[in-house]
Structure formats: structure tokens, C-alpha cells
Amino acid sequence: MKIGNSECIRAMDKYCIENLGIPSMVLMENAALKVIENLDLNKFNSFTVICGSGNNGGDGLAVARHLYALGKKIDVFLLGFNRLSEDCKNNFTILKNMGIHVNLISSTEDLGSLRQSVSKSDVTIDAIFGTGLKRDVSGIYDLTITVINENSNYVLAIDIASGVNSDSGKIMGNSIKANKTVSFVVYKMGFLNYEAHNMSGEIVVENIGMTKSVIDKFCDNTYMLDEEYIKSRMKKRSAYAHKGEYGRATIVAGSKGFSGAATITTNAVVRSGSGLVTLCTYGEIQDIVASKLLEAMTADIENEESIKILSNSSVIAIGPGMGNTKRTYEVLKNVVHKTKCPMVIDADAINVLSQNKELLSKLKNRAVLTPHLGEMSRLCGLNIEEIKINRIKVAKSFAKENNIVVLLKGYNTIITDGESIFINPTGNSSMANGGMGDTLTGIIASLIAQGYEVLHATCIAAFIHGYIGDKLSNDMFIVNASHIIESLPTFIKDFF
């Protein structure tokens, strides 16, 4: 699913109207019908529809008409009557011709009837502001939004919650707090903002008649990952395949006191389907981790035998539990200089790399870095708050500059190779515990070993990792790394 900003949305609308000849009223009608499809009409019977003067308001007026035609009880309110857009005015006229009364809101005296209506209605439909909002909400609009938020039983926002900037996700003074948002054509860039997402409720994106070619023409390579994308990339296994065809994955991980990270990463590689798996770790913990691994081999990373293992690898995952030490740096430097296969660099390997950035030149076109915000800060030299505000820009810039893939962890994880950007929506706070990053590293490495292209392997791994957490958290308060690992073979099958 493409992610777009207000500029590309305006361009698509204009192209469809002026070049393809699709009347704007047809697009508005399609939008209204999609909203109707997203209402539980068996459960809800009374609706208050609050409309602004622009095309978002026109959508709302069209929705009100369809609800009326379906025999539902409706109250319609309109702000900004003196400056209606052409299509909004057309839909207002249609309601008038049908004998549907529209309540005009122009002063605080008009808010009493609105308050009474929304408190009695099953659903409040927000159609005040759309994607064009650029200034702070004030005056009667601010008061109207407050009345809606304080008195509604259930709120559905059309396209975007009124008061949210569709590009930045910034709350423009005041905003509708919706239970559900029915958005159109593309996932709005602003939804990626934590605060905006909190005001949007469940987000559903519906197409209103725009073709893929139109969307691709005006929206850049920024995508929201979904099940359709993952299914389209998964490779079915041949009935005649053997373990050698699913790659040799090597994990370099663990240190004294941190053997669990090595075990978790290795088991994640195994359970995700890699053919042959070897854990290279420090000699002092080799016996400890070997006793915990049934399907994987082990080797001493500082022994000569490990060089051959690393050289024959399809992929190397390095970093979990190694410690931010000179010893880790020596191992990382050795692996980077003596191998040519793809690498997944995580945890302490990232911390070491941030202090020895000359190694990045040896990782071009073959590395995935999986930093959290703190690690990203150390890598790029920006403070965490700067990164939070510009996560996509920072991740894309670093990936492009170093010719690598970056997976920037966090809510709505960002994955980019510096050209295309993918946002992963799966995962939840029940997974906020130790070992989750190690598990993700293992899944990425396993998929690369099996022949998936590095960027796509990273996207698939991130989505499946969070998807399993989402499924398990329906019945579990906390989901641990071991739960994810145990469930990998079962839930991966969902994508075939």
C-alpha cells in the first residue's frame, strides 16, 4: 500500500479529473460509498454528520444522503456555509432538494443542538477538514471539535481526523479523536506520527476508483507493508529441495553473561527455515550455548575453523550479546574484511561500528543494519529527539549515503535502502521485552540465506515478526522471544 502526502493526493485528483475525465462528483460519490461500507449498519441506526465547507464536507453530505436513503436517522450540521466548494455546494443542494434539513453552525449558540445530537446518536461522522488543513484550528471550529470529542459515543472520521496535518501528523491546535478513520487511495504520511495515529483510531484505506498507474505516477516509493505484499514475495518450497538449497546461515553472537542472545538469534534462524545453521561464539561459552541448541552447530569464533565457516556462509548475522568491546571490534573487522556475503548487523556490532565507521565502506550493497533510536543516534550523530521527528528522512539518508539497508526499530518500523521506503505496522507493546531484536535479526538472516533479496527479506521478516506478536497477544498479556520463535513455522504458513 502506497503512502502519500497532500501534494500527491491533489495531483492524483487533478489528473483523474482533467486528464482521465472522471468528474470530481464521481470521486466524491465513490468516497461516500466506501464510508458506508465501513459502517456497521446492523448495529448503528442514528448518525450525526458534521461537515466543513470543502470537499471533505462534500463527502460528508454525500454520506448523509446515502444513510437517509437507507432509512437511517440522520442529523446534518454544516460549518462555513458562505464559502462552500463547488462539489460541497452541489451535495448541499441535493440534500435540500430531498427535503433534508441541514443545521448551520456559525456561533456558539448553535453548539447546543450539536451537543444534544451527538450525545444521542450512535455514530458521529467527522467531515470538517480533509488533507488540506495547514493552519491551527480556532474559533467555532475548535469549539465544535471539543463538543464532538466530549459528547460522542463513536466517531468515524472521513479521510483524516479533522485537526490533524496529513503530512506531518501534527495536531493543529485541536483534533477530532476518532474510533475509526476511513481514508482514501493512499495511507497518509501523517498517520505515521504517534500522536496523529492515536487520534485516528482504526485506519482503513479504500480506493475510490484510481488505478495503480495513477497512484504510481504521483506517489513516490513509500509503502505500508501489508499481508498482500508479503504473500506476493514468499517463495514456495519445491517438493524436491534439500537443506543445501536453503542456505548456510552463520550467527556471530554471545559473550559471557549474554549467551541467551546467541541462543535466541540462532533458534530464530533455524525456525524460520534456513537449511544449515552455525553459531560462532566465544570459546568460553561455546559449551553452554551448544547444550541449548538441537538443530544448529557451534564453533569458536576465535578459532581458525570459523574462518572457513564464515567464508562458506550465505549470510552472517553479527552482534547480539557480544558486548561493546575491543574484542567485538576485532571480530567484526575480521568478518567484514574476510567475507563477501550479505550481513545482518545488530546490537553491539552496531555500537562498535558507530565508533569505527570506516568499516561501512566494506559493507556496501550487502548489509542490513537494525538500530533502535539510541543506536541510530550513535551511528549518525543526531540526538534521539531529532531522529524521532525525522525518522524516515534520517533512515533514508543514512541508507543512501552508505549503500546499505536500514531497519530503524520502533512503532511503525522503517525499512529503507535509500531509494524505497517501507513502513511495518505490525507488532505491539506486549512484545516490549528482551530478546525481540535478536529474534528479528535471526528471521532476517534466515530469509536471506534462503535466497530472498536483502531488502525484501528485511521487510518480510519485520512484518512476520510483528504479525506473530499481534496474533499471540490476543490471548497473552506478554509475548516473549521464545513464544515468537516457537510459533514461526506455524504462522509463516499463513503467507502461502
Which residues are annotated as part of the binding site for K(+)?
56, 126, 162
Annotated binding site: 55-59, 126, 130-136, 141, 159, 162, 261, 321, 372, 409-413, 437-438
- Please report, as a single letter, which amino acid is at residue 10: R
**Residues 203, 100: Cα–Cα separation, whole Å:** 30
DSSP letter for 246, please.
Answer: G
3-class DSSP state of 391? helix
295, 276, 293: which is closest to 285 by C-alpha?
293
Annotated binding site for (6S)-NADPHX: 55-59, 130-136, 141, 159, 261, 321, 372, 438
Annotated binding site for AMP: 409-413, 437
- Please report, as a single letter, which amino acid is at residue 394: V
| Residue in this structure with the C-alpha cell 485541536, named with its chain if needed | 174
Give alpha helix (H) positions in 38-138: 55-69, 86-97, 111-120
DSSP H or E segment with residue 447: helix 436-449
3-class DSSP state of 404? coil
Grid cell for residue 172: 493543529
Those residues whose C-beta lies under 8 Å from the C-beta of residue 207, and which sit 6 or more positions away, are 34, 184, 185
Q: What is the dihedral of CA 136, 139, 141, 143, to 10 degrees?
A: 120
Which residue(s) pair with 155 in the sheet? 124
Instruction: For 292-400, list the strands marked E by DSSP.
Output: 297-300, 315-318, 343-345, 367-369
**Residues 222, 417: Cα–Cα separation, whole Å:** 11
Those residues whose C-beta lies under 8 Å from the C-beta of residue 154, and which sit 6 or more positions away, are 44, 122, 123, 124, 179
| Residue in this structure with the C-alpha cell 459515543, named with its chain if needed | 153
Q: Residue 344 — φ and ψ, nearest 5°?
A: -110, 115
Neighbours of 250 (CB within 10 A): 34
